[in-house]
Structure 1
Amino acid sequence: MFRRLGVALALSLTVGGLAVPGVSAAVSADCSAVRTNWTATTVPHAAPEGLLNAYSNTGKGWTGADSTYSVQLSGGRTVWIFSDTFLGPVNPDGSRPTTAPFINNSFVVQQGSRLTTVTGGTASHPTALIPPPSNGWYWVGAAQTSNAGKNLDVVALRFEKTGPGQWDWRWVANYLARFDSKTLKLQSLKPIPSAANVQWSGWLLRDRGYTYIYGVEDLGASKYQHVARVRGDDLTGKPWEYWTGSGWSQDESASVRVLEGVANEHSVTAFEDGYLLVTHDTKELFSSRVVAYFGCSPTGPWVKPVDLYQTPETGGNIITYNSHEHPDLRRGDELLVSYNVNSLVSDDLYGDVSIYRPRFLAVTLAATR
């Protein structure tokens, strides 16, 4: 949470979707998703925002977190996957005690209107689902099922402390945390490629026999999207291939920058006859812009940016970040997009439990006439 604010402190310097030095600019294929000019109509506070807020207010489990990925599981379950997480209790005035448990990753399982918090440890001593390494922790990223739905696979980023200060930490490596999709018990934690300074955790897209892995080269002042893929649905089962700007290579160092200005967490999903990228804009510091790009390929190029929303919470101590879509929860043409809210002052999060919760948007894209 507080450490994670450093991930949001990003300022990129170019206009997304245009050819810039160091960014792949392959010629776009022709598709109507790119030919069309789109406008967005967005309604805030979409479900399940109210359900999660009410659950948080009870103080009986999860009371706020960030990341906010989702995966559909058997039995009509949706698992909401969170990084830094506060647990209850919640005071009657909507504040949280300073003794409230805080862990680096958790699940909330939704089945209809029923929500259940899943952590490691015990009810009296909850811990992160992925046990932290010495001098560090794991933040979770994109997730999917594998092995005919038997596994829940979650990309996990390992971070470590480098000193005593609040900002003395760094990303170390990427891992795949595999959970049993029925019991949600951790089965294994395996390293995945980490040699190119890319955090391969932004998004996972299953498309035409491959899983595409979207990573972010996070340089602090600039963030660049990279794209890899693996045949099938097991990120640890076969060699990865990396997009070079004109083809695929098994050399991770050949991975090229595809788009500047993405957030560490964003989404790439099928849309019309092409693909839709949803991200928080990181071309400006503490941006309030949720933006979409369009492409004809899972590797872009990403063009025609359209503003989806301006987050009203942004300002003062409050920041918003890491917006992305939940494609399994689309309702016809209506997209479900989430974003995270946080404060640069930790006391705010204890004084008002409602700040550190995900927000949800119902977004409809329409062709302009």
Structure 2
Amino acid sequence: MKKHICALLLAATISLQGYAQSADDWQTVKFTVAQAPEWTKLLNRGDGWFGADGIYTIPLNGQEGKPAGKNDKTLLIFSDTMIGTVRDNTLAPGSRMIHNSAAILKGNVPDEKAIQFYWDKNAKNEAEPLFVPTSPATKKGEYFWLGDGFVNKDQNNSLYIFGYRIFNVSEEAFGFREVGNTLIKLNANDVPKFTNQKQEDTPLYLLDNKGDIGSFGAGIYANTKSAGAPDADGYIYVYGVRGMAKQLVLARVPAKSFDDFKQWRYWDGSNWQTDINSLVNITDKVSNELSVTRLADGRFALVFQVNGMSPFVGMRIGKSLTGPFGPIIKLWDCSKDLAKKSYTVYNAKAHPTLSKPGELLISYNINSVEFLKDLQEYPNLYRPRFIRVKFE
């Protein structure tokens, strides 16, 4: 264990240069990348919340297109979460996993005094998730993992979060199945209260005749004036992922009509269609959680874990929100975090509102296919790590 921790500390000093050049100028990009240990440390905790995956960041002021200021608040949402106590690298009895949680960070720096974590509790004072499926399509035993979300300034500060309804089909490491897509609606002014929720089943769950599953909510780009987007067109762009090839699909809807699914349109490669079956795959080999961020030069950076679950954080450069997106640029090799063969890494994404100008703060998640066994050995294994990409 000490050897592993020392390796992580040494790795924090590593900086890599990248230069992806193409015959097409719009695919060329220069950058450097290094670990962001101060952000990784923020989520390395021993009391209460001590681990989770997921991690989407939502500016509560709705300014998706601008860096957070020192007085701004950012909502962090997580999926499966560990609640308990870790002392001297030992997991104390009584820890509990819940299926989602949240935190609020004040300001734009990783100050442990400025972050507060939230989860629900039952009558026995035991930890419970903040978001539990209650929509009409929900069946017994289902729970939520969380997709991306945003605050809609064009709908009176409505806070929208995508909830993936999950059902366990076995006790194996990957013995779960997504069975539905739900839109969770709150008011950003009520946060950190999460009790006043509206849940609506959506038509955004994809299931083909081969049994391949897809769903929208993997990433959101708010291209609106109220969100601070340059060249705003008034639409919210929502990305989805489908199939084992991790293919990227795209829909959009006017911000003012976000929860009116009759107003949603689906990208067929050339035009926006009313029929969701018209969707084409924009690109592939992405992950179920990802991000699309506008760069200073007007291009777009698609950030993801290559092939969904691999050691590499990847990026594709796009001409526009609809693509085309260029070849995979391998930003970071996460192998140094994989001290055991049972460890896995997945779902990288950028957090632009917590990034400095000209940079992208990126997280990726660490987990294990022998979760309970490995958590006993290394209780703080299960949490996001961060890197920082600086563009030249």
**TM-score (structure 1 length as normaliser):** 0.82
Which of these residues, 52, 58, 66, is aligned with residue 65 of structure 1?
52
Uncovered stretches (5+) of structure 1, i.e. residues with no partner: 1-31
The structure with the greater share of residues assigned to helix is 2
Structural RMSD (CA): 2.2
Structure 2: gaps (5+ residues) = 1-22, 62-70, 134-138, 208-213, 224-232
Q: How far does residue 195 in structure 1 lie from its aligned partner after superposition?
A: 5.0
Match of 1:42 in 2: 33
328, 336, 339: which one aligns with 1:305: 328
Aligned to 1:6: none
SS in 1 for 2:259: coil
CA distance in 2, matches of 1:338, 1:167: 22
- Aligned residue for 2:152? 146
State the partner residue of 2:343. 318
Return the offset for 1:166.
5.4
- 1:203 and 1:150 mapped to 2: Cα distance? 19
Counterpart-to-counterpart distance in 2, 1:164 and 1:264: 22
Runs of 4 or more consecutive aligned structure 1 residues displaced over 6 Å after TM superposition = none
**Residue 294 (structure 2) aligned to one of 249, 270, 295:** 270
**Structure 1 residues 293 and 76: CA distance shift in structure 2, 3 A:** same
Q: Match for residue 270 of structure 2? A: 246
Stretch of structure 1 that moved more, 153-162 or 94-103:
94-103
Checking the alignment, whether the CA contact within 8 Å between 2:205 and 2:215 is kept in structure 1 is no
TM-score, with structure 2 as normaliser:
0.78
Structure 1 position 234, deviation (Å) = 5.0
Q: 1:328 to 1:161 in 2, by over 3 A?
A: same
8 Å CA contact 2:163–2:182 kept in 1: the answer is yes
Deviation at 1:263, TM superposition (A): 0.4
Give the number of equivalent residue pairs.
326
Q: 1:165/1:46 Cα in 2 relative to 1: closer, same or farther (>3 Å)?
A: closer
TM-superposed CA distance for 1:150, in Å, is 2.4
Report Cα offsets for 1:248-269 as digits up to 9, x if no partner: 1010111111111000011111
Amino acid at match of 1:302: F
5 Å matches for 1:21-100?
34-35=25-26, 37-53=28-44, 56-57=45-46, 59=47, 61-74=48-61, 76-90=72-86, 92-97=87-92, 99-100=94-95
SS in structure 1 of the partner of residue 376 of structure 2: helix
Deviation at residue 36 of structure 1 after TM alignment = 5.3
- How big is each residue's C-alpha offset from its partner over 1:11-38, in whole Å with a ceiling of 9 and x where there is no partner? xxxxxxxxxxxxxxxxxxxxx9952522
User: In the alignment, does 2:365 pair up with 1:356?
Assistant: no
1:199 matched to 2:194? The reply is: no
Percent identity over the alignment is: 28
1:168 CA drift (Å):
3.9
Q: Shift of the alpha carbon at 1:360? A: 0.9
Q: Partners in 1 of 2:304 and 2:185 — Cα distance?
A: 26
Note the C-alpha offset of 1:47: 3.8
Q: Which has the higher contact order (CA 8 A, sep 6+)?
A: 1
More displaced 10-residue stretch of structure 1: 252-261 or 350-359: 350-359
Alignment deviations for residues 73-129 of structure 1 (CA, whole Å, 9 cap, x no partner): 246211111000001222x22232353121001001112432212112359222111
